[in-house]
Every structure is written in C-alpha cells, then in structure tokens.
Amino acid sequence: MRNILTAFFLLISLAVSSQNFLSWQFNDRYFSFSVGTGTSTYFGELNSRNSINNNLSQINLGIEARLLNRIGARIEAGYFALSGQDSNASDSSFQRQRNLSFDSRNIHFQLHTIYYLKPYKGDYYKRWVFDPFIFSGVGYMKFNPTTTLGGETYLLRDARTEGVAYKKWVTTIPVGIGAKFKANEFLNVNLEISYHFTFTDYLDDVSNTYASEFSNTTSELLSDRKEEIGIVNPAFYDQIQPGSQRGNPDNNDSFLQISIKAEIFLPQDLFSRKNKAIIKKPSAY
C-alpha cells in the first residue's frame, strides 16, 4: 500500500511540474473525484460454469489526474463481495459432489495508469462528450473467505482446510476498458469493465489437496462436505478423501468488475480560503 501511494504522488508531482512547460490549461479543474458501484464476479474452482454475477456487489471511490495529453493516473479504494458455490455446478460432476462454497468481503486499493484514445482538448469543460480509455496498474487486496456450517459462519483461512496458512493480503493486476460520458460542464458518467489477475489461488479457499490432519472436528467438516449431500456420483464420492485433489493449483483465482461511476471535476483552489465552491462556471463562460 505504501508503494502504491508513493508512486501515485510521484506521478502527480511530475505532472504539476510539467504544466508550464506543456502550456496546458489545467489551472481550474485538474483533479476529478469519482464514486461508483457495480458488480463483481469471481472466477476459480467454485465457479465451474463461469457465470456472471448480475447483483450490485461493490462500491468504489477514486481520485484521478490528467498527466499528459493522453495519459492519466488514478488511485482508487473499493469494497466488494465475491462468492462461489459448487451447488451451481452440473449434476453428477466432481464439483457438485465436492459441495464446497464461500463468501468473501474484500477491501481493494489500486493505482491505475490510464490511456485515453482521444487527445486532451485543453480545458476540462471542452472535453469530449464520449471519451474512451484503457487502463492497467497494480492493486493490493485484503480477502476473507467464509462459509456456513450448521447455521454458523466460519473463517476458512483459520480452518486450514488444506493444511495451508495463506496470507490475508494479495497483489492484483487490473486491466480494463471504459468510457466517460459528459453530463454537463462538471460531471461525467463513466462505465468501466475491469479484469483483475491475482497472485493467489485461495480467494475461495480451494487450491490443492484435502488435508490429512486437522486441529479440530469443525475444520475437518469444512474441508470435506460431500456427506452433506450424499452420493451424487459414486466415482467422485470415493475419490474425495485426505490427500486427494481438491482444486487446481495451476491457475490462480481472478475476478471481473463492471462499474458505473459519477465523476466530478475539482477546482484547484478547493481548499483555499478564496474559493470553497466545487460547482463554479468556467471563466470562459
């Protein structure tokens, strides 16, 4: 997180120092603030059909700055939910017999570099009505998979269902596309689709093999849940036992987010005594 903040402020300082050299008119609305919501879909062992989540499951806040003619930078914080269930898998499949599930509430900090497909027009209020862009960067995410058993909620990381102690925080690599739609002089409505690669296969607590030893009975029951649904497929039922394959460690988990955001342009003198107004007509008007 400290590295992300350091990189962001370094980019901002470079941009500010280059304004006079490039003679761009960034003086009144250089930064913008955004707030948004949307959907989050997890991809991993417990989403065998790769189905897309249609429910609102995330909120995000961001601050963006235009650095160069087609380049911008953004720092963003988000809170979102992920979930997956073997109960959605095909009948008689290994996943259906495995019968695992998870829910997770996650915190995500990101730093993006943005490339705009259209050049900057010189003043924020003259911006394009339709402004498409692509972006990528780096993120840092806290994840916390849980599941329910007998009406109680349990932390799967603590249960060590595969005998592995994995970390709470993980690095992510977001890549995405989007477009800004100009609503008025001060407001954009933005649509974005982003895919997030992660450096873990434990977003869902499923990766490798069934553990052979457990600290308590509850952990054992959380690891192997085939008995809760009985025999769905005899071959897979017999296959599931301590030491057998539980997930696929060759592919890390990932997630997809579809977002809609409201973006407002912030005056440079927002925090000065001279002018506290966020909404102010451009001087050219």
Taking only the tens place, the pLDDT of each residue in 142-177 is 999 999 999 999 999 999 999 999 999 999 999 999
User: Are residues 58 and 257 in contact, defined by beta-carbon separation less than 8 angstroms?
Assistant: yes
Q: What local confidence, expressed as pLDDT, does residue 272 receive?
A: 55
Q: What local confidence, expressed as pLDDT, does residue 141 receive?
A: 98
Q: What local confidence, expressed as pLDDT, does residue 267 receive?
A: 73
Q: What local confidence, expressed as pLDDT, does residue 46 receive?
A: 98
Q: What average pLDDT score do residues 88-105 get?
A: 97
User: Are residues 111 and 171 in contact, defined by beta-carbon separation less than 8 angstroms?
Assistant: no
Taking the model in full, what pTM does it have?
0.86
Q: What average pLDDT score do residues 82-105 get?
A: 97
To the nearest whole number, what is the mean pLDDT of the chain?
88
Other beta carbons within 10 Å of 258: 17
Has residue 14 got a pLDDT over 50?
A: no
Has residue 92 got a pLDDT over 70?
A: yes
Q: Which of the residue ranges 2-16, 40-54, 86-100 would you say has the lowest mean pLDDT?
A: 2-16
Q: What average pLDDT score do residues 58-85 get?
A: 95
Phi-psi region of 151 (alpha: psi -120 to 50; beta: other; left: phi over 0): left
pLDDT range class, residue 126, cuts 50, 70, 90: confident
Q: What local confidence, expressed as pLDDT, does residue 208 receive?
A: 97
SS (H, E, C) the chain: CHHHHHHHHHHHHHHHHCHHHHCCCCCCCCEEEEEEEEEEEEECCCCCCCCCCCCCCEEEEEEEEECCCCEEEEEEEEEEEEEEEHHHCCCCCHHHHHCCEEEEEEEEEEEEEEEECCCCCCCHHHCCCEEEEEEEEEEEEECCEEEEECCEEEEHHHHCCCCCCCCCEEEEEEEEEEEEEECCCCEEEEEEEEEEEECCCCCCCCCCECCCCCCCHHHHHHHCCHHHCCCCCHHHHHHCCCCCECCCCCCCCEEEEEEEEEEEEECCCCCCCCCCCCCCCCCCC
Percent of the chain with pLDDT over 90: 77
Q: What local confidence, expressed as pLDDT, does residue 121 receive?
A: 83
Q: What local confidence, expressed as pLDDT, does residue 61 receive?
A: 98
User: Are residues 75 and 62 in contact, defined by beta-carbon separation less than 8 angstroms?
Assistant: yes
Has residue 258 got a pLDDT over 50?
A: yes
Has residue 183 got a pLDDT over 60?
A: yes
